């Protein structure tokens, strides 16, 4: 299974600084050399991603297909935009769509967002509207449980609803590890079915202890690792493991 680079591998660097490391992508114990064929641009990178920077990245890395993920910094002020808040952050989504088209991105993925801001049905409808704005498939990324039940799509039942809705999605397997740990059960058949679907745009991989989304590098195969053999061929795997932590500088 080929895993690709997310600039979340180097959080805290500016986009262009992190991109310099694409010339020598990191190696991970579970995934080997990461590929720079596809690269995620992420909110963990510092500085504004504007049209000039998008053009510069495409020119500097002609063999890479860049795409946006979540609430990348595309405006001078950082905006916590997600699909639950789609109607409230029109300016951010319009600008993100402009950058996405500038990159000729094949897809965009966004977090479902806060339960207090929308219903799950609202999020699914907002993803459809967002795809119209972006002019490419838009995938919904689910979350994981928290003590105050902050996030939509944070339990197995809501992941099943997402799967059965017909929407495109990104499946973050580290989030599902938290769901499995907190719920005390693994819905491996559901995970395999979601991985195998043509509507699975992206698969995000990293490790954690089941209590929080720590974005650790996968050093030992997690329980979901064998299920990756079920993944749809068009789904792009991105490693979000942090290579700046714990002596894993790359």
**pLDDT digits over 5-62, tens only?**
999 999 999 999 999 999 999 999 999 999 999 999 999 999 999 999 999 999 999 9
Residue 182 has pLDDT above 90, yes or no: yes
* pLDDT recorded at residue 246: 54
Task: Single out the residue of 69, 71, 101 nearest to residue 170, CA to CA.
Answer: 69
pTM > 0.95 = yes
Q: What is the mean pLDDT of the chain?
A: 97
How confident is the model over 131-144, as a mean pLDDT? 98
Pairing assessment for the beta strands 138-141 and 108-111 based on DSSP bridges? parallel
């Amino acid at each position: 299974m080929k895993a690709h680079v997310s600039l979340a591998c180097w959080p805290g660097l500016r986009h262009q600084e992190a991109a310099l490391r694409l010339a020598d992508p990191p190696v991970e114990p579970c995934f080997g050399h990461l590929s720079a064929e596809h690269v995620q641009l992420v909110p963990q990178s510092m500085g504004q991603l504007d049209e000039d920077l998008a053009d510069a990245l495409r020119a500097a890395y002609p063999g890479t297909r860049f795409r946006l993920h979540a609430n990348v910094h595309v405006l001078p002020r950082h905006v916590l935009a997600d699909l639950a808040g789609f109607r409230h952050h029109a300016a951010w989504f319009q600008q993100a769509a402009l950058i996405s088209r500038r990159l000729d991105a094949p897809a965009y993925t966004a977090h479902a967002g806060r339960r207090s801001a929308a219903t799950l049905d609202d999020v699914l409808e907002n993803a459809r509207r967002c795809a119209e704005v972006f002019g490419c498939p838009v995938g919904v990324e689910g979350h994981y449980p928290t003590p105050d039940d902050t996030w939509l799509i944070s339990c197995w039942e809501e992941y099943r609803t997402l799967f059965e809705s017909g929407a495109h999605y990104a499946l973050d397997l580290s989030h599902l590890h938290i769901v499995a740990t907190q719920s005390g059960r693994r819905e491996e058949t559901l995970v395999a079915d979601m991985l195998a679907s043509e509507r699975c745009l992206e698969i995000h991989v990293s490790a954690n202890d089941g209590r929080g989304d720590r974005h650790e590098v996968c050093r030992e195969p997690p329980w979901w690792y064998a299920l990756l053999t079920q993944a749809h061929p068009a789904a792009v795997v991105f490693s979000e493991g942090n290579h700046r932590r714990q002596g894993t500088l790359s």
